[in-house]
Structure 1
Amino acid sequence: MSAPASECLFCKIARKEVPAALVYEDEEVLAFKDIFPQAPVHLLIIPKAHCPGLGDVTPEAAAAVGRIPQVAAQLAKDHGVATGGWRLLSNCGPDAGQTVFHLHFHLLGGKPLGAKLCV
């Protein structure tokens, strides 16, 4: 199910081998615009280290993953959705809708999102 880090699309984005519309980067975390946005603001936030999903977080990746909500809150402010509200979610496994098996969080906002819980 999970591609090795050498073949993982999001690892390639983190290594700058594949272009993406980056909106945030530090040593451990990267955020970029989703290429198929489901809301006016739809960003993907990833740890740079390869991790297939939330059920696979290693102690080495835990610090980066733990910072993602803080990064998301700042990005929500930066993209003008903090006041109206935003959603942060991660799909874990194919039955949940995960299609890229590198842990990532969707930050969505900019319109009423209602009860829909998937992207």
Structure 2
Amino acid sequence: MAGAAPAWITDQDDWTVSFLDISPAAPGHTLVVPRTHADDLWSISSEDAQKVMAAAHRVAGRLRDRLRPDGLSLTQANRAAAGQEVFHLHVHLVPRYVGDQVRRAGSAVQAGPEELAATWESLRSPADS
């Protein structure tokens, strides 16, 4: 049930609520969540996704101004294969500091031009032809 668990709410509006992660990767680690249920990015409406990103932008500014991090990581996982554990769309904002031990998502292996070209061919817009 929404609102049943205690939360450290840092920001809210009619469409979103933002609160501190109870298992923070770094101090200030905040989740931005739409009030309307959507399992993941593929199931949220474009309009609601825009509202989530507007809230993430607003909260990121507050994190920058109040905590003075050296950087910020923004992540969002979709479905179990990507590491999603809570099946309600949410965006993680993690303040970052030079030398912190927060793990970076992704691979450090550089893709070759052939791999990039093949992927680009499958993703590019027909207008790019």
Normalising by the smaller structure, the TM-score range is: 0.7 to 0.9
Is 1:105 matched with 2:105?
A: no
Q: Tell me which structure has the larger Cα radius of gyration.
A: 2
> Could you tell me how far 1:60 is from its partner in structure 2?
4.9
Q: 1:29·1:46 contact (CA, 8 Å) conserved in 2?
A: yes
Q: Using the TM superposition, give the Cα deviation of residue 71 of structure 1 relative to its aligned residue in structure 2, in angstroms.
A: 2.2
CA–CA separation in structure 1 for the residues paired with 2:95 and 2:85: 21
Secondary structure of the structure 2 residue equivalent to 1:56: coil
TM-fit CA distance, 1:68: 3.3
Identity across the alignment (%) = 30
Change over 3 Å in CA distance of 1:71–1:104 after alignment to 2: same
1:49 shift after superposition = 0.8
Residues 85 and 27 of structure 1, relative CA distance in 2, 3 Å threshold: same
State the 1:22 CA deviation.
0.5
Over residues 56-115 of structure 1, what are the superposed CA-to-partner deviations in whole Å (9 max), with x where a residue is unaligned? 122452342341342232232244245x11011101110111000111000001434566
> TM-score when scaled to structure 1?
0.73
Q: Distance in 1 between matches of 2:7 and 2:17?
A: 11
Segments of 5+ residues of structure 2 without an aligned counterpart are 107-129
Aligned to 1:62: 49
| 1:94 paired to 2:94 | no
Structure 1: gaps of 5 or more residues: 1-6
TM-score, scaled relative to structure 2: 0.68
* Paired position in structure 2 for 1:80: 67
Secondary structure of 2:29's counterpart equals strand
2:75·2:93 contact (CA, 8 Å) conserved in 1?
yes
- Amino acid paired to 2:75: L
Give the 3-state SS of the residue equivalent to 2:30 in structure 1: strand
| CA deviation map 1:33-70 (0-9, x unaligned) | 10111112211111111111111122452342341342
